Amino acid sequence: MRKAGRLAWISLGFQLSIVTVLALVMGGSQALRTAWIEDMLSLLPPVAFLIAMKLERKPATRRFPFGFQRANSLAFLIAATALTAMGALMVYESAMTLAKGEHPTIGSVRWFGQEVWLGWPMMAALAYSVIPPVILGRMKLPLARKIADKVLHTDALMNKADWQTGLAAILGIGGVAFGLWWADAVAAGFIALSILRDGVNAMRVAIVELTDGAPRKLDSAEVDPLVDQITERLRHQHGDVAVQVRETGRYMRAVVGPPDTPHLPEEHARALVGDDEGWRLIEVAIEDRQSRRDA
């Protein structure tokens, strides 16, 4: 967790520098503008991860009796939404550029008495924007698997999208130099569909997680194999019982109950709450816990 936190801070520092550098050389390039917007959105996942990491360590309170472990689930939804918004924006802008037949113009500037085509500093800035995401993304993926953190995994996907978009933008600007006006928009949109697909899949998992669905795998919408393992072993211990497993941030909760009804018997609920409000109490779980060190 400490290493993941350090990587998140390093990511923020590099992303801010990349956003600044791209803003300084931005011209009429559609691909460069798309890369800049994408890098702006890439700031959200590490920020969400750092906030969630701090919140989930807070103890339970009267207002939040289950603690703040689900802050990670909320952060995952924010990161997935950012990834989806990035892909959708890129697809839309690329499609509109191609539909309108807009010809990007890349001018020139005078540096030290010499006329310099702006495409060169643009491509240099994009080359810089590719290097940190490649390294950081590869470092985050094994950490995300080890600490079962979907926010960090989505952040790694954003890093992958960053360097792919940077390379596509370089190719697009190079295409403009050879008179291929459509190359800029095609390069920006080529990778957008892949980014959008990853974002939509991540959003599906985030919504399932927040609606108490069964825990999903880190990189897909399939149910985590641990669910079947937990269910099988609890039934082996307790016999014919109903087992409900749900995700709480990076953790899992399992509830063992009678197989015949999913709700608390009404007479028991009314005895605890009262006749008028008894219908609202559907579960009373007596949990067997043991202390553990933080992940």
* pLDDT tens-place string over residues 260-293: 766 777 788 888 888 888 788 877 877 666 555 5
Higher-scoring residue by pLDDT: 45, 295: 45
Higher-scoring residue by pLDDT: 289, 224: 224
Q: How far apart (Å, rounded) are the C-alpha atoms in residues 160 and 195?
A: 9
Of 262, 250, 284, 278, whose CA–CA distance to 67 is shortest? 250
Structure tokens at 266: 């009404």
178: Cβ contacts below 8 Å, ≥ 6 apart: none
* pLDDT tens-digit readout, 56-76: 888 888 888 888 888 888 888
Give 217-254 as a DSSP string.
Answer: PTTSSSBPHHHHHHHHHHHHHHSS-EEEEEEETTEEEE
Q: How far apart (Å, rounded) are the C-alpha atoms in residues 281 and 272?
A: 9
Structure tokens at 289: 């816990």
208: Cβ contacts below 8 Å, ≥ 6 apart: 214, 216, 221
How much is the pTM? 0.77
Q: What is Dmax (Cα atoms) for the chain?
A: 89
DSSP conformational letter for 42: T
Residue 173 is predicted with a pLDDT of 77
Q: What percent of the chain has pLDDT over 70?
A: 89
Confidence class for position 109, pLDDT limits 50, 70, 90: low
The secondary structure element, H or E, covering residue 251 is strand 251-257
The alpha carbon dihedral of 287, 207, 67, 248 has a sign of positive
Of 20, 11, 5, 50, whose CA–CA distance to 160 is shortest? 11
